[in-house]
A = this chain, B = another copy of it.
Amino acid sequence: MVSPMKDCDLLINCGWLLTVDAENTVLTDHSIVVNDGRISAILPRESALNTYRTDTLVERREHIVAPGLINAHTHLAMNLMRGFADDLPLMTWLQEKIWPLEQQHVNADFVAAGTRLALAESIRAGVTCVNDMYFFADRTADELTRAGLRGRVGMLVLDFATAWAKDAASYIQKGLELHDALRNNERVSTCFAPHAPYSVSREPLERIQVLSTELDLPVHMHIHETATEVHEFEATHGMRPLAMLRDIGMLGPSLIAVHMTQLNSEEQELVSHNGVHLAHCPESNMKLASGCAPIAALLAAGGNVAIGTDGAASNNDLDLLAELRTASLLAKMTSSDAAACNAEQSLRMATINGAKALGMEHLTGSLEPGKAADIICVETHSPEMQPVYHPVSQLVYAAGRESVTDVWVDGQALMQDRRLLTIDIKETISDAKQWASTLCG
């Protein structure tokens, strides 16, 4: 007796399937079965063909199939400032170029246009989930929702006035309103995003820590990005920023600490021991000559390291695969250990570690039954991707963003055969050009 065929929404036949489960299992010639946005089964291709029928069968038998990439730190809207000011150190770049430009030009439409450009780039690069920090996060949330990505938008807090809010209290208030507005959004949620210890005073940080605990939301903050910033803080406050954050109870698994290029050995211990997540942004740190977070040591100590691109104004792209590769190569160089941050560990940083940092590991970051169908396919039939000996190495060390062919979030296709399905590229580019001429005007 033949058992009846089961229906499914989507069936993907994969050449190599990188699950990024606890054992980093790699499966060959397996299929992913998707129903209601979730992965309902992963099984050998032959079994799948004998068990499931679907209207949407996707053949990717020469592709590497992996979890969608998670960009753990970015400023999407800053895509409109890509290449606006290069070859400058952080404080000159911020104070003389970026902040004046933002004061003059950033508004809700700017954020919408910049985010759209950034999301087109992100999807094309295989990114399915972002952790954003910027003004007018309501517009960022709208664009994420429209484009279909998963993400957290930061409830930005600064001490000083901008077009978005006038003081720390009003930033927090606007953030909380956004948090309420997004309560039924299935893909986009919020987190607190105090900019940095040097730009947000202790009192609002203390309030944010209380709210973060009450609402069970992560706190996303730039911390110890440069030596200058740490020294100046110490000169003013008599302690390093991390010590102040420890004092107010912020060093725990709800904290996504961005950059952290300046960590002494006690601080490395403090961070690992307390379960603080690092959002490592190596290319931005290199470009601004800020330094390099000691990720080989943090990983060895069991710390959670995720990867972010930072904004395109300091990177100058949102290419998470390239960022991942840089992270791995840089960790090897700075730790003088070619085995450090190997291909498997690197892939985890851009997937499951990012999910952990964002408090989403139950939902995304690996390809396992029960999780959301956040999936990317990467072709191997170009000269750059041949031959394939080890698919994880190939993805981490050889693949470029242009190798990504398909992207799904919750089983919804956002890109198919390199064609974007949720964003109008022509209009997006035309808007970006318009904004660029305004910024130069």
Contacts and interface: CB of A to CB of B under 8 A. Distances in A.
A400 B398 contact: no
Interface stretch (A19-27, A192-200, A288-296, A299-307): A288-296
A269 interface: no
Given A83-B394, A384-B317, A384-B401, A338 B389 contact: no
Contacts of A368: none
A83 B121 CA distance: 27
Interface in A369-419: 381-384, 386-390, 393-394, 397-398, 400-402
A169 interface: no
A184 interface: no
Given A117-B383, A401-B384, A428-B383, A316 B393 contact: yes
A108 interface: no
A90 B338 contact: yes
A84 interface: yes
Contacts of A383: 117, 120-121, 124, 425, 428-429, 432
Contacts of A290: 333
A340 interface: yes
Contacts of A289: 332-333, 335-338, 340
- Where chain A touches its partner, the secondary structure class is helix
Interface of A: 79-80, 82-84, 86-90, 92-93, 117, 120-121, 124, 283, 285-292, 312, 315-317, 319, 322, 326, 328-330, 332-333, 335-340, 342-343, 381-384, 386-390, 393-394, 397-398, 400-402, 425, 428-429, 432-433, 435-436, 440
11 contacts: A83-B394, A86-B393, A87-B332, A87-B393, A92-B338, A121-B384, A315-B397, A316-B398, A330-B330, A387-B435, A400-B402
